[in-house]
Amino acid sequence: GAGVSQSPSNKVTEKGKDVELRCDPISGHTALYWYRQSLGQGLEFLIYFQGNSAPDKSGLPSDRFSAERTGGSVSTLTIQRTQQEDSAVYLCASSRGPGRPPLAGDYTGANVLTFGAGSRLTVL
Amino acid sequence: KNEVEQSPQNLTAQEGEFITINCSYSVGISALHWLQQHPGGGIVSLFMLSSGKKKHGRLIATINIQEKHSSLHITASHPRDSAVYICAVAPWYSGGGADGLTFGKGTHLIIQP
C-alpha cells in the first residue's frame, strides 16, 4: 500500500483479555518495527523484523507480548492477559532497508522510517 | 543504554522566528533520527543522519558526533510547524537501522501566528 496501515485505530478492552494489533507495512519494505508510546512518555522500541530473519525481541516488556510477521509482510502484535499499564498507542513503522549491516555506513535512506497512524489501546 | 536528552521540553515562538531544538546523547551511535509527531498523533520521519548537516526545505539538521549532540533548526517558522519533535538514536551495532532506537521525550513546539 501507499502507507503503513494499522488496525484497529482504537481498542478498548477489559483487564485480562487478549488483544491483537495489526500492521500492514509499505509494499517492498523489508524491515518492520513495533513501538509504543504511553501517555506522557516517549516512544519505546518493542520488536523488529527483517525479512525472514529471527526477530529482535529485545524491547518486549514481558512474555505477555508477542509478535509475528507472516510472509514477510503483515505483522500482528499480540498482548495476552492485558493489564492497565499496557494502555498506550502502539505504533508500527517500516523501512526499505534491513536496518543492519551490510548496509552499515549506507545512510542514503534505506533505513528511513515510515510510521503508521497507531493503534490506541485502552485497558479498563 | 543510551541516555537521550532533548531541550527545550516546551517552546512557544512567534511566526517567522528561527527555531532550534537540541538533542544530546551519552553513548556513541551509528545514526540519529529526527521525527515529527503531529497533534493528531501521526509521526513523520524528518531526517536520518550520521554526520554533518542535512537540509530539507525550511528544516536543517546537524550532528556533531564527537560532542554527541544534534540540533534541528526551523527557519521562517509557521503555525503548521507546531508539533512534537522527537530525537532518536540508533546504537552503533545497528548500522543506522531503527531497531533498538532510544528516543528522547520530545520537544513540544507551538508557533503562534
Residues B21, B11 contacting (CB under 8 angstroms) = yes
The one-letter code for the residue type at B40 is G
Q: Give the CA radius of gyration of chain A.
A: 14
- In chain B, the percentage of residues whose pLDDT exceeds 70 is 92
**pLDDT for A104 beyond 70:** no
What is the pLDDT confidence band of residue A96, given thresholds at 50, 70 and 90? confident
Shortest CA distance to A34 belongs to which of A82, A63, A74, A85? A74
What is the pLDDT confidence band of residue B70, given thresholds at 50, 70 and 90? very high
What average pLDDT does the segment B41-52 reach?
Answer: 83
A45 to chain B nearest CA, in Å? Answer: 6
Beta bridge partners of B45: B35
**pLDDT for A114 beyond 70:** yes
Residues A68, A76 contacting (CB under 8 angstroms) = yes
Between A97 and A84, the more confident residue is A84
Do B48 and A109 lie within an 8 Å CB cutoff?
A: yes
**Chain A residues lying within 8 Å of B49, measured CB to CB:** 107
Sign of CA dihedral B26, B102, A53, B36: negative
Spell A47-80 as b/e; 16+ CB within 10 A means b.
bbbbeeeebbeebbeeeebebebeeebebebebe
Beta bridge partners of A74: none
Give the DSSP letter of residue A56.
B
**pLDDT for A101 beyond 60:** no
What is the pLDDT confidence band of residue A21, given thresholds at 50, 70 and 90? very high
Residues A54, A5 contacting (CB under 8 angstroms) = no
A76 to chain B nearest CA, in Å? Answer: 17
**Chain A residues lying within 8 Å of B33, measured CB to CB:** 113
Between A97 and A77, the more confident residue is A77
Residues A86, A119 contacting (CB under 8 angstroms) = no
Beta bridge partners of A22: A7, A76
Residues A33, A59 contacting (CB under 8 angstroms) = no
A33-49 pLDDT, tens per residue? 899 988 777 788 899 88
**pLDDT for B93 beyond 80:** no
- Placement of cell 528544516 in the chain: B59
Q: Which residue of B has its CA nearest to A43?
A: B103
What average pLDDT does the segment A89-97 reach?
Answer: 87
**pLDDT for A108 beyond 60:** no
Question: In degrees to the nearest 10, what's the CA dihedral of A111, A94, A85, A13?
Answer: 170
10 Å Cβ neighbour count for B26?
13
pLDDT at B37: 85
**pLDDT for B30 beyond 70:** yes
**Chain A residues lying within 8 Å of B105, measured CB to CB:** 41-42
pLDDT at A24: 95
**pLDDT for A115 beyond 90:** no
What average pLDDT does the segment B92-112 reach?
Answer: 79
pLDDT at B34: 92
Q: Which residue of B has its CA nearest to A60?
A: B100
Least reliable range by pLDDT among A39-43, A77-81, A83-87, A102-106 = A102-106
Burial of A94 (0-12, 13-18, 19+ CB in 10 A): buried
